[in-house]
């Protein structure tokens, strides 16, 4: 299965990556985690001007995947999956809870469509602020699958960022007079991550085009991103554990997104039911 982006899609990906690369998204994520939403809201407005918030409603599924992979690669905080992926909101910031699969509403304290915000629940990812909300919502299966694809693309972007940072680090870090990246064991681990991410990407695009179940994309991207996070932590050593080190932003985000919008077990069960 091979999917190739056309010229316009490549230009969109390049423009989006350029904007986010110059937006100091690490500082935005850290501020969001500390309760300062202003930098994140300004970035939301800039991304909305580029058309990111209208991708779901414009029926441009591949472009949506491109955008969410970029959001993951740059660790952009906010209820993007809920607002754009599931609700298809072109304006404002919206969120949703769909118990039991999505038990809490992400960033409900700043969402335009939530008036009653309940207790807050912690997350391993400090940028994910989870809240109980009043009322129940019937799941729109088509919108749910779209949200699952969006999360999958985010995981893919996170995995790519961790791999890039890990490759850079092993070329700089030396032990016993050699770059640690010159050791075969580390090369093999990083190569396995590269293969996993490359195999996951076609499933995301295939799911966007309706040729692959959304759950298949989520399982593959969760596994690939988790492998990337685990390997990234191993090659960085003790420094990878520290909250002050930027890598921790992506490591914790992967841990949270692996179970967001359905656990791996939930999506494997969906795939099994589809087969039998």
Task: Using DSSP bridges, classify how beta strands 105-106 and 178-179 pair: parallel, antiparallel or unpaired.
Answer: unpaired
Q: At what angle do helices 141-172 and 184-208 cross, to 10 degrees?
A: 160
Q: Tokens in use for 200?
A: 């996951």
- For residue 4, tell me if it sits in a domain: no
Q: Tens of pLDDT along 58-111? A: 778 999 999 999 999 999 999 999 999 999 988 999 999 999 999 999 999 999
Domain coverage including residue 186? 141-275
Considering its fold, how many domains does the chain have in total?
Answer: 1
- For residue 259, tell me if it sits in a domain: yes
Q: What is the largest CA-CA distance in the chain?
A: 61
- For residue 177, tell me if it sits in a domain: yes
Instruction: Please tell me the distance from the alpha carbon of residue 103 to that of residue 130, in angstroms, as a whole number.
Output: 9
State pTM to two decimals.
0.94
DSSP of 178-235, one letter per residue?
EEGGGSHHHHHHHHHHHHHHHHHHHHHHHHHTTSS-HHHHHHHHHHHHHHHHHHHHHH
Domain with 184 in it: what CATH number? 1.20.140.10
Average pLDDT over residues 160-170: 94
User: Over the Cα atoms of the chain, what is R_g?
Assistant: 18
Q: Tokens in use for 143?
A: 């919108």
- For residue 236, tell me if it sits in a domain: yes
CA–CA distances in Å: residue 256 to residues 80, 91, 210: 15, 26, 26
CA angle 44, 46, 51 (to 5 degrees): 90
In the predicted model, is pLDDT for residue 56 greater than 60? Answer: yes
Instruction: Please tell me the distance from the alpha carbon of residue 217 to that of residue 214, in angstroms, as a whole number.
Output: 5
Q: Which of 110-124, 164-178, 212-226 has the weakest average pLDDT?
A: 164-178
Q: Tens of pLDDT along 236-274? A: 887 877 888 999 999 999 999 999 999 999 999 999 998
Q: How many residues does the chain have?
A: 276
- Provide CB contacts within 8 A for 244, sequence distance 6+: none
- For residue 51, tell me if it sits in a domain: no
User: Quick one: pLDDT at residue 143?
Assistant: 96
Q: Tokens in use for 166?
A: 């890990």
Q: Tokens in use for 145?
A: 């699958």
- Provide CB contacts within 8 A for 21, sequence distance 6+: 74
- Provide CB contacts within 8 A for 264, sequence distance 6+: 218, 219, 222, 223, 258
In the predicted model, is pLDDT for residue 215 greater than 60? Answer: yes
- For residue 16, tell me if it sits in a domain: no
How many alpha carbons fall within 13 Å on the CB side of residue 152?
34
- For residue 194, tell me if it sits in a domain: yes
* Percent of the chain whose predicted confidence (pLDDT) is above 90: 79
Neighbours of 50 (CB within 10 A): 14
What ranges in the chain are assigned the alpha helix state H?
7-21, 25-33, 38-49, 61-73, 80, 141-172, 184-208, 214-236, 247-259, 264-275
- For residue 264, tell me if it sits in a domain: yes
């Amino acid at each position: 299965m091979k999917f190739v982006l056309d010229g316009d899609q490549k230009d969109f990906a390049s423009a989006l990556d350029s904007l986010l690369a110059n937006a100091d998204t690490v500082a935005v994520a850290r501020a969001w985690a500390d309760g300062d939403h202003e930098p994140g809201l300004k970035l939301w407005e800039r991304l909305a001007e580029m058309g990111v918030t209208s991708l779901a409603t414009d029926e441009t599924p591949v472009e949506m995947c491109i955008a969410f992979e970029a959001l993951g690669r740059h660790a952009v905080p906010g209820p993007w999956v809920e607002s754009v992926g599931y609700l298809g909101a072109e304006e404002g910031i919206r969120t949703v809870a769909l118990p039991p699969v999505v038990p809490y509403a992400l960033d409900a304290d700043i969402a335009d469509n939530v008036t009653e915000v309940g207790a807050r629940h912690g997350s391993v990812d400090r940028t994910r602020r989870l809240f109980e909300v009043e009322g129940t919502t019937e799941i729109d299966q088509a919108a749910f699958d779209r949200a699952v694809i969006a999360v999958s693309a985010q995981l893919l972007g996170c995995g790519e960022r961790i791999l890039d940072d890990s490759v850079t680090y092993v070329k700089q870090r030396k032990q016993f007079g050699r770059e640690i990246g010159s050791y075969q064991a580390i090369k093999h681990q990083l190569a396995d991550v590269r293969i996993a991410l490359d195999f996951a990407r076609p499933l995301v695009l295939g799911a966007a085009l309706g040729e692959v179940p959304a759950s298949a994309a989520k399982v593959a991207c969760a596994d690939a991103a988790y492998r990337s996070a685990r390997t990234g932590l191993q090659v960085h050593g003790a420094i990878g554990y520290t909250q002050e080190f930027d890598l921790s932003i992506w490591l914790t985000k992967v841990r949270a997104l692996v179970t967001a919008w359905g656990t791996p077990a939930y999506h494997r069960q969906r795939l099994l039911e589809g087969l039998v």
